[in-house]
Amino acid sequence: MNPHVDFHVHTLFSADGRSSMEDQCRRAVELGLQEVAFTEHLDLQPDDPFFGFYNREAYEAEFVRCQALFDGRLTLRRGVEVTYQQEFHDQIVNWLTGYPYDYVIGSVHAVRMEALFREDLYRRWNVRDTYTWYYEELERAARSGLFSALGHLDLPKRYSYHIYGPVPWTDYREQVEAVLKAAVATGTGIEINTSGLASRARETFPGPGVVALYRRLGGEVLTIGSDAHGTDQLGFGLGEAVAIAREAGFPAVATFSTRQPVLIPLE
Ligand SMILES: [Zn+2]
Ligand SMILES: [Zn+2]
């Protein structure tokens, strides 16, 4: 598989991480990866279970230590996965100022101050409201221009598949298009998040149809990431992501350094 990069990786610096940064680095080298972005969660809603966990000082110290430890074998990138919520827009701007991030993922994990991973949400909200409100918030994230890429573009699929059943993205074509157009206009990329392949939906987030639409709308910045929370998930499905990228007509996938995209041509 080419390129050998994973641009969505968590470590113990994320509340739901299961492996240390050093272990993730060691596994990356074993897998033949050349470049990895450690994108830890930043959550700003005070009653979120992850609130207050993000520790950038400790992350930085460990990042620098691992960088030295794996020098010449693995390139590490400073990343973050920000939960975008319009309610915390100004705080997010502050967090993204004054630290040398290479890569910033903007993800919608909550809508109307309610966390999307809570299953009871999908029993209280109908499918139309959930996806409509979700894409409205994601469009705000895209318009903000704050992010290198949007995370797992159709995330409700991860948590609601067994309740709503399959929800074709084409049911929300107008909204998905609005998100992607905003992303193109602001130079925001999207990712192919391969964790979806192991979810009930058995499809990347987003699936091939949305990736192809992004390309048709002029999208050029496409990253690939496993969203690994442990070494067992690192690098998962990236070959499939590259195949989807190629099929959609992308000549390259993107990595990031100092928040600038670096395009790696597909062989
Ligand atoms: Zn996420
Ligand atoms: Zn993640």
Please give the chain's pLDDT, 267 residues, in tens: 578 999 999 999 999 999 999 999 999 999 999 999 999 999 999 999 999 999 999 999 999 999 999 999 999 999 999 999 999 999 999 999 999 999 999 999 999 999 999 999 999 999 999 999 999 999 999 999 999 999 999 999 999 999 999 999 999 999 999 999 999 999 999 999 999 999 999 999 999 999 999 999 999 999 999 999 999 999 999 999 999 999 999 999 999 999 999 999 997
d(CA 48, CA 14): 13
In 59-102, DSSP assigns E strands to 75-83
Cβ neighbors of 104 (< 8 A, separation 6 or more) are 79, 80, 82, 96, 146, 147, 148, 149, 259
Query: Is 152:158 a contact under the CB 8 Å cutoff?
Result: yes
CA of 131 to the centre of ligand 2 (A): 20
Structural domains for the chain: 5-265 (3.20.20.140)
Q: Residue 223 pairs with which residues in a beta bridge?
A: 191
CA of 40 to the centre of ligand 2 (A): 7
CA of 79 to the centre of ligand 2 (A): 11
Selection from 121, 212, 189, 209 nearest residue 158 by Cα? 121
CA of 98 to the centre of ligand 1 (A): 23
Ligand nearest to the CA of 227: 2
CA of 37 to the centre of ligand 1 (A): 14
Name the residues around ion ligand 2, CB cutoff 5 A: 81, 227
CA of 107 to the centre of ligand 1 (A): 6
CA of 258 to the centre of ligand 2 (A): 20
CA of 153 to the centre of ligand 1 (A): 10
CA of 251 to the centre of ligand 2 (A): 25
pTM comes to: 0.98
Tens-place pLDDT, residues 207-232: 999 999 999 999 999 999 999 999 99
Query: Is 164:125 a contact under the CB 8 Å cutoff?
Result: no
Selection from 188, 179, 172, 258 nearest residue 223 by Cα? 188
CA of 78 to the centre of ligand 2 (A): 14
